[in-house]
Structure 1
């Protein structure tokens, strides 16, 4: 019997199933994102390629995912070396029923979107708390926006003019005095627009502002989302006819079969 909680078992199962069902048999270049569920994605890919790890190259979306790749004994590459990826797996902060995403809670949104846009297929894995009818329903921290540091003050005003209810320069917390610095040496603004019913339009408006590098709104880019549910089951959004499905699978069986 597994000693981990039902939701953690479901997250692991969702990640394993996402890899097993979507990893192309001839994949050579794989993008790996970040997040607590993506940990299991890297683990599963490491199992599949345990005896042929030189056959693939993995591209990271940031520091955490780079460590996941290294920790699982996989070969690390760069987007400069491999500008076209066969598939990418990543997490999300929120997902709506049209498979639009909010990402960037970990401040890696630019590199995450770069890898996603370079991939032939993007698969998301997350837990049930990331599900929403509309973006902004459950993710209250606001849309992450990566900005050029010298522009942040002006952009705060610009974002409020576009309807943001609140805009905050993300701070480093108790371990760092001052703002968060991204892997690209930029700042992050978190802009709360409330419920977002047209994320594609909002994204384009934000990108038009001088000083905005990228937004955490990912639209029309995700193929499928695998969720670990709180009852130990998994649900899948997207795929055939965009029908949502739910499955109850024994995670111990899946883990045993992977050995």
Structure 2
């Protein structure tokens, strides 16, 4: 089986958590898009849901599938968010933002009663950091902000190349919020909580791609089938 088939299997399992009349947050990225496609098929068959997308890309996809849409201003409390991840560890700590939607993804996830992550088995890691950590920043003072990221990340034990994300044409990638992204190739992040706190200290940083204590469950598709891991914050985790 292929990675795409693992993503599809995880997305199908996630669909089982959706109940009629739910208010849903829709994630961004390749795996989340698979879920949105499956949800659209259920909507065509009569499923009633109201959804808040985490990006303009996801909004366009959902609209093309005639999925009823809202905004977080109109629907500020959500029942469930389904989203992907670039990495996740055994404690359901995540790195997200490979698609550039980390700010809206975090806002929507924390506005939800429950967040479920869907991913293929290759996204599981022993320690976060193999995937470069996205850090969303404002345009003003970008060089000073980059220097602060380098310095404070170093104080947290993280060192590596920090590069401005570019589009294929060589121009800076711009988020839906009009901001820029630094991709930080720190390698293994031994203390994600410390790094998260350090980055939040920097005024020019809007948000970072560490999602800590946010995911309530992960649905992972792999060669041995689909597994569901429920978070037990403060009590460890267990597979169900």
SS, match of residue 173 in structure 1: coil
**Which residue of structure 2 lines up, in the alignment, with residue 29 of structure 1?**
23
Instruction: Give the Cα–Cα distance (whole angstroms) in 1 for the partners of residues 200 and 225 of structure 2.
Output: 38
Structure 1 gaps, min length 5: 246-259
Deviation at 1:99, TM superposition (A): 0.4
Query: Deviations 1:225-258 (Å, cap 9, x if unpaired)?
Result: 11221x262232225762246xxxxxxxxxxxxx
Question: Which of 162, 165, 187 is residue 160 of structure 2 equivalent to?
Answer: 165
- Per residue, is there more helix in 1 or in 2? 1
**Which residue of structure 1 lines up, in the alignment, with residue 194 of structure 2?**
201
Instruction: Give the Cα–Cα distance (whole angstroms) in 2 for the partners of residues 35 and 180 of structure 1.
Output: 16
Structure 2 gaps, min length 5: none
Instruction: Give the Cα–Cα distance (whole angstroms) in 2 for the partners of residues 8 and 112 of structure 1.
Output: 22
Q: Is contact 2:22–2:80 with CA below 8 Å preserved after alignment? A: no
Deviation at 1:26, TM superposition (A): 4.8
Tell whether 2:35 aligns with 1:45. Answer: no
SS, match of residue 30 in structure 2: coil
Deviation at 1:150, TM superposition (A): 1.3
With over 3 angstroms needed to count, the CA separation of the structure-2 counterparts of 1:27 and 1:202, relative to structure 1, is farther
TM-score after normalising by structure 1? 0.83
Tell whether 2:146 aligns with 1:146. Answer: no
Root mean square deviation, CA, Å: 1.9
Q: 1:39-188, aligned counterparts within 5 Å?
A: 39-52=33-46, 55-136=48-129, 138-139=130-131, 142-162=132-152, 163=154, 164-174=159-169, 177-188=170-181
**Which residue of structure 2 lines up, in the alignment, with residue 19 of structure 1?**
15
**Which residue of structure 2 lines up, in the alignment, with residue 233 of structure 1?**
225
SS, match of residue 77 in structure 1: coil
With over 3 angstroms needed to count, the CA separation of the structure-2 counterparts of 1:15 and 1:117, relative to structure 1, is same
TM-score after normalising by structure 2? 0.89
Deviation at 1:48, TM superposition (A): 3.0
Query: Deviations 1:79-99 (Å, cap 9, x if unpaired)?
Result: 111111110000111101110
Number of aligned residues: 232
Tell whether 2:1 aligns with 1:8. Answer: no
